[in-house]
Structure 1
Amino acid sequence: MVHKDLEFRGIRLEHLGMYFEELGAKQITESFPYVFEAEGWKGEILEEKEIAFTQSFKVNAIKIRFYASSEKLLNETIKHYRYKTTRIGG
């Protein structure tokens, strides 16, 4: 299996888990690392930490690991997952 790690900032942990489910994965574990499995791929929410840019500006940072049976499926899964995490500023 091939894998890739990504970090997402400013998105709630619950939403990141929900995005795995929306892509067809089932949640396997109830604590870190949260594991989501689907046919041919799986995702793990490994950790959450808080990053302080200033004393008053803080955001969460969540590390996620994607696994897939092929490089093509890995890239496709990450592409769909990133689409769900896209935020448009205004």
Structure 2
Amino acid sequence: MPEQELEFRGINRKHLGMYFEELGGKQMTDDFPYVYKSNEWCGAIVREEELSITSTFKVNSVHIRFNASDDMTLKELIKNYRVKTRRIGG
């Protein structure tokens, strides 16, 4: 089963879980690792940390593991998930 882990910064952990649900996953656990499953893939919010960019500027860092039934499904899941996490400044 293909697997990839990514880090997302500055996005609320609960929002990251909602994105899995919007992509068709169902929440399976209520604590770390938060696991979301569909018929073809599994996503897990593995851990959350706080990073200090400067002494006063801190941001969260969330590590997410993606698993899928095959490479094509994994690539599609990550592509669709990245669309949900895209932030456009203005």
- With the length of structure 1 as denominator, give the TM-score of the two structures: 0.99
Q: List alignment gaps of at least 5 residues for structure 1.
A: none
Equivalent position SS for 2:75? helix
Note the aligned Cα RMSD (angstroms).
Answer: 0.4
Instruction: Give me the whole-angstrom Cα distance separating, in 1, the residues matched to 2:83 and 2:57.
Output: 26
State the identity as a percent: 57
Which of structure 1's runs of 4+ aligned residues deviate more than 6 A?
none
Aligned length: 90
Equivalent residues in 2 for 1:2-41 (5 A)? 2-41=2-41
d(CA) in 2 for partners of 1:74 and 1:44?
A: 13
Counterpart residue identity of residue 38, structure 1 = S
Asked if 1:65 corresponds to 2:65, the answer is yes
Gaps of 5+ in 2: none
1:47 maps to what in 2? 47
TM-score (norm 2): 0.99
